[in-house]
Structure 1
Amino acid sequence: MLLRRRATLAATFAATLALPAIARAQGFPDRPVRIIVPFPPGGSNDIIARQLAEQMREGLGQPVVVENRAGAGGNVGADSVAKAAPDGHTLLLCPPGPLAINEHLFRTMPFAPARDFAPVALVASVPIVLMVTKGLAAQSVAELVALAKREPGKLAFGSSGNGSTNHLAGELFKTMAGLDMVHVPYRGAAPAMTDLVGGQIQLMFDNMPAALPQVRGGSVRGLAVAGSARAAAMPELPTVAEAGVPGFEAEAWFGLVAPAGTPEPALAKLRQACGAALANPALRGRFAESGAVPGARLGEAFGAFIAAERMKWGGVVRASGALVN
């Protein structure tokens, strides 16, 4: 009897402690909402985040600001959100790295992706483009493969950081085509693109929103897209698979998460605002212009998607042998 009374008192006490958080969540948001992008300005992650923030502001009735916190393959920015107050006012928008890849790649992690985040929405999926610097003597994937085989260890491919999807796309390309190339990690896609344009690196896999203007502007040469089908935004480019590396496929996505423990009323409002933004014709039009496809998974459906991606990319990391100390 005494044990039962103690258990009842403990449950009542816990519920009492939770009441202020629930009450605050009912009035959410009561100040600006921050979306942390764990990479520098100018890359696809940044572009997608700023386009989404503009539309979510209408649904939340508060300013939605984007803040860039780069470092450690996205782990620095992601860790800051994992440790932020779980009240819905600090969010993370990122590619697979921090949520599904880095735990397989880094020997130690400052956070546990499956434990420390609450899924909000899959925001967008984007094709990945294989590009080379204009001065490289390769007009096709077949010519690039032939060149890399003639000069093993001479070609360098850039990425937005260790464990990023464009890094692993490059590793997968190396493995499937039987190539010896050097990986050069950067602190984001934008500085990597700068060096690709300048010829300091010879090739790069990058997401369509950032790659499209560079290819169309003639700053770099697009050779192929990495997905299972040609991209609507660049139909002239073949897939890597049809251009000479059968079975090759890689695609990027961007997801929005909140710190674990964020009250359900706040999460519901975030899912509703994000879903409304992704259904907005203006945002869908802007996504289409940059080659991005709006996501359609919210809440637990997005959580299940992340779990499946964690298993998929874990296999790619193990096959590539890529590790970061």
Structure 2
Amino acid sequence: MASASCRPRPDMRRRALLGGMLAAPRLARAEARAVRVVNAYAAGGTADIVCRLLFRSLAERTGRAYVVENRPGAAGTIAAAMVARAPPDGETLLYDATAFAVNPALFGPKLPYSAREDFLPVYLSLVTPNTIIATDRFPPRGVRALIEAAKAAPGRIDAGTTGIGSAQHITLALFNAMAGVEINHVVYRDAPTLRNDVAAGRVDLQVSNVPGTVTLLAGGKVRALAHTGLAPVAVLPGVEAVAETLPGFETFEWNGVFLPAGTPEGIRQSLNQALNAIAAEPAVAARVAAMGGIAWPNAPAEFAQFLDRQYALHARVVRSANIRID
């Protein structure tokens, strides 16, 4: 799904850029109030883990408090609507993920804010492929075998996700379209229930992301059938890419930081430089890599271009798969 420009730069360029950003000026500390970081997702998930990792390190680096406030619900729109109404003074941030770029197509005019006009993209903090996880009781052992099984029993294989219009739902819809199959989408209210049902064999498949999959595999009872990246995933050795069977297939989940529109450009640029420097710190970079996350230096303009591609891509998938929230 992502173009080559969405993926990390070569290591040599990455090291050079990171080295420069480590010297970026720190944000001003003087008598500053705590910054409110509104996270659109629940505690304990990938977005929450990465958000807290970054802003805890940023607080240590700058001496300013960053308070993460989880406000999940309605595919991230509750948190985004709150930040859209916040004063543009740099003291309220939004930490959001892939659904931010899906929601304009999913909700249309019902969306209580404009994703493009009410926010300033600051920093793309994480990209990670999605995955297809299978219960050990599910016979297919690869993508080709999965497609053959789905064609032999249309509408009889179930795949669970935790949300309509989520990155994982988009992955399933695109897989159905490109493979010419009909795998059922089963929506769960929460990740623990879905994980339990997959482990118990009550649902055949789960569409997840790499960090969530690493955690699940540690508990046994499930296996990673495939990932949706274009390159091998280090933390999932031996797991094939969907693209090996369906050329060009790529989906991923991302996380990013936003400010309310109207925030002074100097605040946005300073925050971007500080977050780039934090991501380059060895302890932070190692933690993200261990989760299966990919991060690289990026400026607000690059993140904005990335989002433009995401808006267009998800609009096409939502429209072609007729994905709706009733």
TM-score normalised by the shorter chain: which range applies?
0.7 to 0.9
User: Match of 1:163?
Assistant: 165
Match of 1:74 in 2: 76
Counterparts of 1:89 and 1:266, CA distance in 2: 10
The partner residue of 1:47 within 49, 55, 71 is 49
Query: Residues 258-269 of structure 1: matches in 2 within 5 Å?
Result: 258-269=259-270
Gaps of 5+ in 1: 1-24
Q: CA deviation at 1:281?
A: 1.0
Native 8 Å contact 2:135 2:201 kept in 1: yes
Sort the Cα spacing of 1:196 and 1:63 in 2 relative to 1 into closer, same or farther, 3 A.
farther
- Distance (whole Å) between structure 2 residues aligned to residue 290 and residue 321 of structure 1: 32
**Paired position in structure 2 for 1:305:** 306
Alignment of 1:113-262 (within 5 A): 113-187=115-189, 189=191, 191-242=193-244, 244-262=245-263
Q: How does 1:267-282 map to 2 (within 5 A)?
A: 267-282=268-283
Amino acid at match of 1:136: F
Q: 1:28 & 1:268 partners in 2: Cα distance?
A: 18
CA gap of 1:68–1:191, structure 2 versus 1, over 3 A, is farther
| 1:28/1:124 CA distance change after superposition, 3 Å | farther
Q: Distance in 1 between matches of 2:33 and 2:203?
A: 44
**Over residues 132-161 of structure 1, what are the superposed CA-to-partner deviations in whole Å (9 max), with x where a residue is unaligned?**
123222222223223322332222222231
1:27 CA drift (Å): 6.7
User: SS of the counterpart of 1:269?
Assistant: helix
Identify unmatched segments of 5+ residues in structure 2.
Answer: 1-26
* 1:176 Cα offset (Å): 1.2
Structure 1 residue 207: Cα displacement: 1.5
Cα drift, residue 189 of structure 1? 4.5
Give the Cα separation in 2 of the matches to 1:39 and 1:194.
20
Structure 1, 151-160 or 164-173: larger mean CA deviation: 151-160
| 1:147 to 1:256, Cα distance in 2 relative to 1, 3 A | same
Residue 32 of structure 2 is matched in structure 1 by 30
Quick one: distance in 1 between partners of 2:99 and 2:52? 19
The separation in 2 between residues aligned to 1:266 and 1:256, in whole angstroms, is 13
Q: Distance in 2 between matches of 1:86 and 1:188?
A: 33
Are the structure 2 counterparts of residues 191 and 246 from structure 1 closer, same or farther at C-alpha, using a change threshold of 3 Å? same
> Structure 2 CA distance, aligned partners of 1:189 and 1:218?
16
Contact 2:227 2:240 in 1 (8 A): yes
* Cα deviations by residue, 1:237-271 (Å, 9 ceiling, x for unpaired): 110121x3333211221111111112233323321
SS in 1 for 2:87: coil
Q: Which residue matches 2:315? A: 314
Deviation digits for residues 48-99 of structure 1, max 9, x if unmatched? Answer: 212212212123322223222121211112212212222222212222211x
SS in 1 for 2:116: helix
After superposition, the C-alpha distances for 1:203-227 in whole angstroms (9 at most, x for unaligned) are 1221211111212432421011101
C-alpha contact (below 8 Å) 1:39/1:187 kept by paired residues: no
8 Å Cα contact 1:122/1:255 also seen in 2: yes
> Is 1:104 the counterpart of 2:105 in the alignment?
yes
Larger Rg: 1
State the aligned residue count. 299
Q: Structure 1: how far apart are the matches of 2:231 and 2:95?
A: 26
1:63 maps to 65
Residues 292-312 of structure 1 show CA distances to partners (whole Å, capped at 9, x for unaligned) of 111321222211221122112
User: Secondary structure at the residue paired with 1:247?
Assistant: coil
188 and 95 in structure 1: CA distance in 2 versus 1, 3 angstrom threshold: farther
Counterpart contact for 1:170–1:204, Cα < 8 Å: no
Residue 173 of structure 1 aligns with an amino acid whose one-letter code is: F
Aligned to 2:195, what secondary structure does the other structure show?
helix
TM-score normalized by the length of structure 2? 0.84
Distance 1:317 1:118 in 2: 24
Aligned-pair distance for 1:187? 4.5
- How far apart, CA to CA, are the structure 1 residues paired with 2:41 and 2:62? 25
Distance 1:225 1:308 in 2: 21
After superposing the two structures, state which structure 1 stretch, 253-262 or 140-149, moved more: 140-149
Distance in 2 separating the partners of 1:37 and 1:196? 27
